[in-house]
């Protein structure tokens, strides 16, 4: 059952044998999503955070390929925080949310599938501006 309000969990199936690990996520249950870009974040120093911005149109899917980190998302009133761990669930984030990535383990690798090419105009870097955009946009 999906108890998340904003984030949609994506199950990851694990195959383990003497040859190593194989992890698979089927995306057919996610809202129409075409991956136009991927990026990945790694080697985040202890105590550093990433993100801290909103996106107007961009939809994203997050996975931890290694280690773990926390993803917090909000529309300005509802806040949701999940921990992403290697070999565990990914999360789909719809368009129009603010997001923060924190508590990275040393070995964490965060993979993001993005629905659009990089567009600086889609970012909102000020939380106050994000709230104004949410309320009046
Ligand atoms: P930034 O948005 O600060 O990364 P994060 O969300 O992980 O904190 O991006 C860092 C720099 O990388 C910034 O100058 C913009 C650039 N960038 C691209 O050119 N293309 C991309 O797809 C992304 C995600 C960032």
Q: Which atom of ligand 1 is nearest to the CA of 41?
A: 7
At 65-118, the pLDDT tens digits run: 999 999 999 999 999 999 999 999 999 999 999 999 999 999 999 999 999 999
Global confidence as pTM: 0.95
Name the DSSP letter for residue 46: T
State percent of the chain over pLDDT 90.
91
Q: How far, rounded to the nearest angstrom, does the alpha carbon of residue 72 sit from its chain's CA centroid?
A: 9
Q: How far is the CA of 15 from the centre of ligand 1 (A)?
A: 33
pLDDT beyond 80 at 131: yes
3-class state of residue 72 by DSSP: strand
| Contact 56 CB / ligand 1 (< 6 Å) | no
Neighbour order of strands in the sheet with 123-124: 79-85, 68-74, 98-102, 50-55, 123-124
Q: What is the arithmetic mean of pLDDT over 35-47?
A: 97
**Which pLDDT belongs to residue 1?**
52
| Contact 68 CB / ligand 1 (< 6 Å) | no
Q: Which atom of ligand 1 is nearest to the CA of 112?
A: 24
What residues contact 1, with CB distance under 8 A and at least 6 apart?
A: none
């Amino acid at each position: 059952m999906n108890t998340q309000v904003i984030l949609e969990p994506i199950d990851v199936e694990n195959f383990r044998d003497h040859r190593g690990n194989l992890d698979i996520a089927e995306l057919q249950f996610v809202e129409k999503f075409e991956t136009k870009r991927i990026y990945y974040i790694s080697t985040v120093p202890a105590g550093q955070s990433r993100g801290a911005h909103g996106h107007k149109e961009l939809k994203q899917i997050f996975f931890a390929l290694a280690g773990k980190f926390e993803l917090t998302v909000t529309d300005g009133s509802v806040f949701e925080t999940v921990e992403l761990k290697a070999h565990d669930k990914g999360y789909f984030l719809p368009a129009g949310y603010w997001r923060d990535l924190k508590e990275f383990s040393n070995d964490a690798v965060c993979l993001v599938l993005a629905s659009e090419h990089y567009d600086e105009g889609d970012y909102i870097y000020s939380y106050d501006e994000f709230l104004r955009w949410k309320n009046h946009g």
